[in-house]
Amino acid sequence: ERVTDRFAGSAKELVTGQPEEAATGLYGIIGYEEAYLRERMAAGTAAIVAEAEALGDPEVLENLRYILDAPAGSSNAQFHNGWRRDRAPDGSSLRSRRGMRLADFVALPVARRARLEEAHVVALRLYSTAAFRALNGPMRNLKLSPCR
């Protein structure tokens, strides 16, 4: 039985690259120098905001602003799959999150144990919204290596 969601797929659908690309890691696959990406990552949340603003996708920007500025549970937004923001799939309230702000998510024991910084939490929360399409799309359309 094949599961059909964004987290499942066959190995043939994965972008894995060639051995000579593997040594460069993600940097080589996406075409940026490691130093450039490390500099951007060092900017933390500000780099995420700058990238989202440069992208200019209204859905990404709205989700990012919610994550950065609004208390969890304060939005009634409903997405393409029928799910509501900060709600369980059945629509019930996630009471343990209600009213939490970004700093509260960063301070959660699970985030502290994982040594997550604010930018990591922002990235995880953003990816768990409808913004995932804008993030996944470019990775699924990488230029194929001439070795393939």
Quick: pLDDT tens for 86-121: 878 787 878 788 889 999 999 999 999 999 999 999
**CA 147 to centroid of chain Cα atoms:** 30
Lowest mean pLDDT among 35-39, 44-48, 79-83, 116-120: 79-83
Rounded Cα–Cα distance for residues 136 and 32 (Å): 17
Rounded Cα–Cα distance for residues 108 and 33 (Å): 33
Q: How confident is the model at residue 13 (pLDDT cuts 50, 70, 90)?
A: low
H helices of 43-142, where? 45-55, 58-69, 102-107, 109-113, 118-127, 132-140
Tokens representing residue 95 in the block: 């009471």
Rounded Cα–Cα distance for residues 47 and 136 (Å): 18
Rounded Cα–Cα distance for residues 86 and 74 (Å): 9
Q: Which phi and psi (to 5°) does residue 133 adopt?
A: -65, -40
